[in-house]
Amino acid sequence: MFLLPLHLSTLHSRFSFSASMIGAFFAFVSVALASLSTSLTLWFELSSLSNRLKGKTERLPVDFLLKRENI
């Protein structure tokens, strides 16, 4: 009879610890994905700027369509 409350409190503390670990894991994954997305965006923008400065950028179809409408 005395072991029942102890057992329930142990389950509660384990569940609480498990829930906090799951929350921490999802927070970590969220920050990691945001960081990766930012890094890839920055890399793409810098790569595009570098290619433009070197004159190696080819015209995109969207640019062609926009200029065609302005004629």
User: What would the pLDDT profile of 16-46 be if each residue is shown by its tens digit?
Assistant: 778 888 999 999 999 999 999 999 999 999 9
DSSP state of 68: H
Prediction pTM value: 0.50
Q: Which helix (H) or strand (E) holds 55?
A: none
Q: How many helices (H) and strands (E) does the chain have?
A: 2, 0
Return the residue matching tokens 């142990």: 10
Phi, psi of 47 (to 5 degrees): -65, -45
pLDDT at 4: 52
Domains of the chain by residue range: 3-70
Return the residue matching tokens 């009879």: 1
